[in-house]
Structure 1
Amino acid sequence: MRRNAWLLAILLIALLLGVNNTIYYFTTKDSLEDSLEHEMESVAKQIEISIELSRGGAEKYQEQIGRELRAVSIATQFALSPDVEKVSNSQLAELSKKLDMVGITLLKRTKDNIILYKSSSPKQLGYKTNTWKPWYQAFNQLFDEHKVTIDWGQHLTNFWTGPFEFATTDTSSIQKWGYYYDGTTNYMIDPYISYDSRQHAYDDATGVDKLISQTLKENKSLSEITIINPETFGDGERTTITDNGEVLQHMTQNPIINGTYKYEDPDDLANVKLANEKNIKVYQNDVINGKHVIKLFIPVDITNKVASMLDENGEPLNRYVISLVSDYATIQRTLDKQFVNIAIIIGVVTAISLILVYLFVTAYRKSQDKLVRKAQETYLDEINGLFQSIRSQRHDFANHVQTIHALAKLGKTDELKSYTAELTGEIRELNDIIDIGNPAIAALIRAKGLQAEVLKVAFKADFKDINKLELGMKSLDMTRLLGNLIDNAFDEVLNYAEDQRSVHIAACQKTGYYEFAVSNTCLRAAELENKPLFQAGYTSKKGSHSGLGLHIVKSIVEKYKGGINLAINEPNTVTFIVKVPY
C-alpha cells in the first residue's frame, strides 16, 4: 500500500512538472512572440526612416532631372520656329540626339483637345490627351496660365513635369516628360528621357528596393518586406487601354510600390485597410505558403506629397503601408530547444526522485524491521518475565506453606495475618494481570509494573472485557502501541517529585470498538494542546529523544482505521485516548 502511495506521489510530481513545463512553454511562446513583434516594429521603424530618406533623395534627384528637361525645352525653343507648322519631325529627332534626350514632342491645342502634333518618334504622333488625368488638366493650365497649380508634380517657371511612368505611346518603356510653354510659341515643348538612362542607376545604388534587399540580408528572421499602396491594393495593377489597343500600366498607382509580395493571404486586404484607415499596427499570425509566419502592417504618413505615389484617382497618397513578414521558425527553434531542455530536467528530476524514494523506502523498511524485531524481543522478554513470575510463585509455594504452618503452630496470629495478607496481595496482583485475557498485553503490563517500581512511579492498570482483541489488532502491534504510550508517560512523570509520579492505563471493550486510555501527571498540560505531538521528529521533552514514539502510535492506530486524541479533563493530567474498531 505504501509503495503504491509513493508511486502515486512520483506520478503526481511528474504530472506537476509536466503542467509546469506546459505553462512555461506557452509563457515562453508568448514572450518570444512579443519579442519578435517588438523587433519587427523596430526594424519597420528603421525601414520607414530609411525609405523616407531614400524616397526624399530620389525625389530630389528627379527634381534635378526636371530642371534638365526644362533647360532642354528652352534650348529646343531657341532652335525651332515659334510656329509648329514650320517645325519638322526630323528637326526634332536631330535635336533629341544633340540634347541627349529619348525624344522631343510638340503638343498643339485644338478646339476640344490637346494632341501630340509633331515628334522625333513616329509612335508619338496623333495621340489625344484628354483622357490623361490629371495630365490633361496640367496641360490646359500651362496653356492658359503659363503655370500648373495641381498639387503634385514639379513646378518651375513656365514648366511642369510628372513622375517617371509607363508611356502611352510605348507601353514597354518608363519615361519622364517635361512640359514647357511661355506663350511665345503656338505649341508646348515636351522633351522626355527614359528611366534606364537616368533614374535606374540611382535607384539601384540608393533606392528603396536596394534598401529592402539589404535589410533582408541583415535580418535573417525577415522573409519579406512590401511597400503597399493602400488605395489601390486589392484591385490588381492599374491599367488602361491606349488608343492603339495596348494595355498601359500605371507605375504611380501600382498596389505594390516597392519590394515583393510573395506571402499573399486573403486577410491582407482587410489588414491593410484597417492599418490605413485606423492608423494602427496590425499583426497576423498564420500559415502562408506552407510556412508559419507573423505579418506586421504599419501605416506611414507622407508629410510631403509626391507624384510617384497616387491613389486610384491620380491624387497623391496621404499614407502608405509597410508589410513585414517574419519567419516563425526562429521562435519555434527556441521553443523546441527550451522544451528539450525542460524535458531532460524533468527526466533527471524524476530519476533522482525515484532513486531517493527507493533509498528512503529501503531505509524506512529497515527501520520498521528493526522496530519490529525490538518489539518482538521485548514481547518475548515480557512473556518470559510473566512466566518466570508464575514459576517463582509455584517454586516458593512450599516455603510459603511451611512459614504459615510455623506461625500457626507458634500461635503468632498477628504475624500470620500480616504474612498471608502480603502473600495474597502478590498472588491477586499476578492473577489480575493473567486475567487480562491477552498474554502479550499481560506480559507488557507485568513488565511496566516492575519498571514502575524501580522508577518510583505509581502505576495502575484497569482492563475490562477485552476478549475480542484477537479479532482485530495483532498482539505485536498492540504491545507496540501501549508500550510507546506508557514509555511516553514514564518519561514525563520522571520530571516531577516521587509523590507526583502517577501513570494510569485503562482498557475496555465497547460496541464496535475497544478503547485504551493512558493518563499521567503533566504540570504543563495546557502547553500541549496546539503542539504537533504526532508529527515525526517532534518532541517536547528535554534531552535526547527521537520524537518518534507518538508518531509510531498514530501510524499503528491509522493502520487499523482507528483514532487517537489528547484529552485534558483534569488539572495537571493528560490522557491519550485510542479507539480501534474490531
Structure 2
Amino acid sequence: MQRNVWLMAISVIAALILINNTVYYFLTKKTLEDGHKQEMLRLAKQIEQSVEQARKGAEFYEEQIARELRTASIAAQYALDPDIEKVTNEQLQELSEKLDIAHISLLKRTDDDIVLYQSSDPTQPGTSTKKWKPWHEIFQQLFNQEDLAGDWLGQRMTNFWSGPFETSSTDKKKIYKWGYYYDGTTNYIIDPYVDFKSSQEMYMQIAGVDRLLTDLVEKDDSLLEIAVFNPRTFPEGIQSADSEGELKEHVVQRSLLFGKYGIKSDSDAQSVQEAYHSNKIVTYMDRIDGRHVYKMFIPVSMSDREMSVVDEQGNPLKNYVLAINSDYGIIQEKLNEQFLNLGLIITMLTLASLIIAAIAMRYAKQSRDKAVAVTQETYAEEINSLFHSIRAQRHDFINHVQTIHSLAELNKHKELIAYTKELTGEIKVMNDIINIGNPAIAALIRSKISQAEGYRINFQCRFNGLRLQGMGGKTLDMNRILGNLIDNAFDEVLKYEEAKRNILLEGDQTEHYLEFRVTNTCDEAEDRALKPLFEAGYSTKQDQHQGLGLAIVKGIAERYKGELMVIAESRDQLAFIVRLPL
C-alpha cells in the first residue's frame, strides 16, 4: 500500500512537471517571437533616428545650395543691366557658365502674369507662371518686396526664396532647384538654378538616406527592403498635366520618399494608411514570390517641417511612414534552432526534476517523522510540567485549609485576608494560564513563573480574551516570541535589588489582532527606548549575550506582518509590545 502511494505521488509530480514544461515551451516560443518583434522595433527605432539624421543632413546641404544660388543671384545682378530689355539670352548663357550653374532665367511682371522673359535655356522664354502654385504667389510677394507669407517649403533669406528640388515644367526629364532674388534695384527677378544630378545626387549617394537604407539592408541577412512613404500620396503619388496635356510627376509629392519598394502586397496601402491615421505600428505577414515576408509599418512624426515633401494639397508633410520588410524564413530557422535546444534542456530538466523530487520526498518523510517525534516529546514534557503544577496545588490544598482554619480560630483577620488574597491570586493565575487554550504556550508561561520564583522576581501575568486553540505551526513562533521577551526582561531586572525586580506579562486578543506586552523595571527607560535594541548583534548586556533575542522577535513579527515596539511607560518602566494581525 505504501509503495503504491509513492508511485502515485511520483506519477502526479511527473505529470505536473510535464505540463509545466509544455506550458513553458509554448510560452518561451511566444517570448522568442515577441523578442524578434521587439528586436525589429529597436532596429526600426535606430533606422528612424538614422533616417532623421540623414534627412536633416540633406536639408542642411540643400540650404547651402540655396545660399550659393543667392550668391549667384547677387553676382548676376552686378553683371547685368537693371533693365530686362537690355539683357540678352546670350549674356545669361555666358554668365551661367562662369558661375558654374545650370541656367539663369529672368522673370518679368506683366499686367496679369509673371513670365519667364529671358533665359540661358532656350526652352524657357515666354513661359507663364500663372498656374504655378505656390510659386506664382511667391513671385508676387517678391516683386512687392513683402515678407514671404505662407507655410512654403524651401529656404527664405533676405529678398530671396529657393524652392525644393522639383521636376521642370518645360523639361519633364529634368529635376532642378531654383532660386529667386529681387531687391527692387532691377525690374526683374533673377532666377539661377542647378540640376539635381550635379548638386545633391552625389551627396545622397555618399551620405544620404537612400545610401543609409541600402547599407542597413546589405548588413542584415533578415532585412529585405526598407522604404519611407508619403502616406498622403501613397501609392500613386501626384501628377499633373501641363498645357500640352503631358503628365508631370511632382517630386515634392512623390509617394516613395526614400529607399526601395519592390516587395509589394495588396495590403500595403491599407497598412500605410492605418499606421498614419492611428499613429500606431502595423505589422502583418504575407507570402510574396515564395517567401514568407514580415512587414512592419511605423509612423514617424517629424520634429520639424523642413522636409522637402508636401501632401496632396501642397502643404508641408508632418508625418511619414517607415516600412521594413524582413525574411521571416531566416527568423523561423533561428527560432527552430532555439526551440530544439530548448527541447533538449526541458528533457534534461524533467529527468533531473524527477530524481530531485524522489530524493526530496524521501528526505521530507524522514524529516517529518523526526519532527513529529520531537514535537510529541516536547508536547509531553510541557503537559507534564503543567499537570505537575496543578498536582502541586492540589497537594498543598489541605495545608492551605488548615492554615486558614487556624487563622480563623485565632481571630487573625488581617493575616487571614492577606493569606487568602495571595492564595486566590496564585489560583487565578493558574486558571488564566490554563484558559489560554494552548498547552504548549501555557506550559512555557508556567515554566517562566517557576523560573521567576527561583530568581526572586515578581513576575505577574494578565490575560484578556486569549483564545489560542488550534494555532498549529504558529505555536512554536509564539513561544519563541514570549520566551525571548521574558528572558530579556529577566536579564534586565536581575541587575537590580530584589524589591525592584518587577515584570508584568499581558496578553490581549481582539477580533483583529493578538498582542503581548512585557513590562519590566529599567532605569533610564526613556534613553534605553531610543537605542537600536532590535538590531542583530546589539546588546546592553555583558559577556555571554549576543544581542539576537529581540532581533529574532522582530523577524518573526514581520514575517506575520505584525510589529514590535518599545516604549518607555515611565522613567523606570520599559515595555516591549508585539502585535500580530489575525
Interval containing the TM-score (normalised by the shorter chain): 0.5 to 0.7
Q: Give the Å deviation of 1:94.
A: 0.7
Q: Give the Å deviation of 1:253.
A: 0.9
Match of 2:317 in 1: 317
| Aligned CA distance change for structure 1 residues 38 and 343 (closer, same or farther; 3 Å) | closer
Give the 5 Å matches for 1:433-444: none
Query: 1:114·1:128 contact (CA, 8 Å) conserved in 2?
Result: yes
Give the 5 Å matches for 1:100-139: 100-139=100-139
Match of 1:168 in 2: 169
Higher mean C-alpha displacement, 152-161 vs 329-338 = 329-338
CA distance in 1, matches of 2:283, 2:201: 34
Give the 5 Å matches for 1:461-540: none
Match of 1:156 in 2: 157
Give the 5 Å matches for 1:199-238: 199-234=200-235, 236-238=236-238
**RMSD across aligned C-alpha pairs, in angstroms?**
3.2
Q: Name the TM-score, length of structure 1 as normaliser.
A: 0.54
Q: Percent identity?
A: 49
- CA deviations 1:206-231 (Å, max 9, x no partner) are 10011111111222221111101111
Give the 5 Å matches for 1:28-427: 28-151=28-151, 152-234=153-235, 236-338=236-338
Letter in 2 for 1:89: N
Letter in 1 for 2:277: E
| Aligned CA distance change for structure 1 residues 46 and 187 (closer, same or farther; 3 Å) | same
Partner of 1:331, secondary structure, is helix
Letter in 2 for 1:112: D
| Aligned CA distance change for structure 1 residues 137 and 283 (closer, same or farther; 3 Å) | same
Letter in 1 for 2:216: T
Letter in 2 for 1:193: V
Query: 2:77·2:190 contact (CA, 8 Å) conserved in 1?
Result: yes
Partner of 2:216, secondary structure, is helix
Q: Give the Å deviation of 1:22.
A: 7.3
Q: Give the Å deviation of 1:30.
A: 2.1
| Aligned CA distance change for structure 1 residues 89 and 296 (closer, same or farther; 3 Å) | same
CA distance in 2, matches of 1:318, 1:105: 33
- CA deviations 1:227-271 (Å, max 9, x no partner) are 01111113x132222234433221111111000112222222222
Query: 2:284·2:296 contact (CA, 8 Å) conserved in 1?
Result: yes
- CA deviations 1:517-576 (Å, max 9, x no partner) are xxxxxxxxxxxxxxxxxxxxxxxxxxxxxxxxxxxxxxxxxxxxxxxxxxxxxxxxxxxx
Letter in 2 for 1:162: G
Letter in 1 for 2:132: W
Match of 2:447 in 1: none
Q: Give the Å deviation of 1:123.
A: 1.2
Query: 1:147·1:159 contact (CA, 8 Å) conserved in 2?
Result: no
Letter in 1 for 2:318: N
CA distance in 2, matches of 1:167, 1:253: 14
| Aligned CA distance change for structure 1 residues 90 and 146 (closer, same or farther; 3 Å) | farther
Q: Give the Å deviation of 1:340.
A: 5.1
CA distance in 1, matches of 2:259, 2:15: 49
Query: 2:25·2:342 contact (CA, 8 Å) conserved in 1?
Result: no
Letter in 1 for 2:184: G
CA distance in 1, matches of 2:284, 2:118: 54
Match of 1:521 in 2: none
Query: 2:145·2:184 contact (CA, 8 Å) conserved in 1?
Result: no
CA distance in 2, matches of 1:181, 1:307: 25
Match of 1:387 in 2: none
Q: Point out where structure 1 has 5 or more consecutive residues left out of the alignment.
A: 1-11, 351-582
Number of aligned residue pairs: give it. Answer: 345
Letter in 2 for 1:319: N
CA distance in 1, matches of 2:219, 2:339: 28
Q: Name the TM-score, length of structure 2 as normaliser.
A: 0.54
CA distance in 2, matches of 1:204, 1:340: 44
| Aligned CA distance change for structure 1 residues 344 and 29 (closer, same or farther; 3 Å) | closer
Query: 2:55·2:307 contact (CA, 8 Å) conserved in 1?
Result: no
Partner of 1:182, secondary structure, is coil
Match of 2:449 in 1: none
Partner of 1:193, secondary structure, is strand
Query: 2:145·2:183 contact (CA, 8 Å) conserved in 1?
Result: no
CA distance in 2, matches of 1:33, 1:347: 22
CA distance in 1, matches of 2:229, 2:85: 46
| Aligned CA distance change for structure 1 residues 26 and 125 (closer, same or farther; 3 Å) | farther
Letter in 2 for 1:216: V
Moved over 3 A (4+): 12-29, 338-350
CA distance in 2, matches of 1:32, 1:111: 71
Letter in 2 for 1:223: L
Match of 1:501 in 2: none
- CA deviations 1:368-399 (Å, max 9, x no partner) are xxxxxxxxxxxxxxxxxxxxxxxxxxxxxxxx
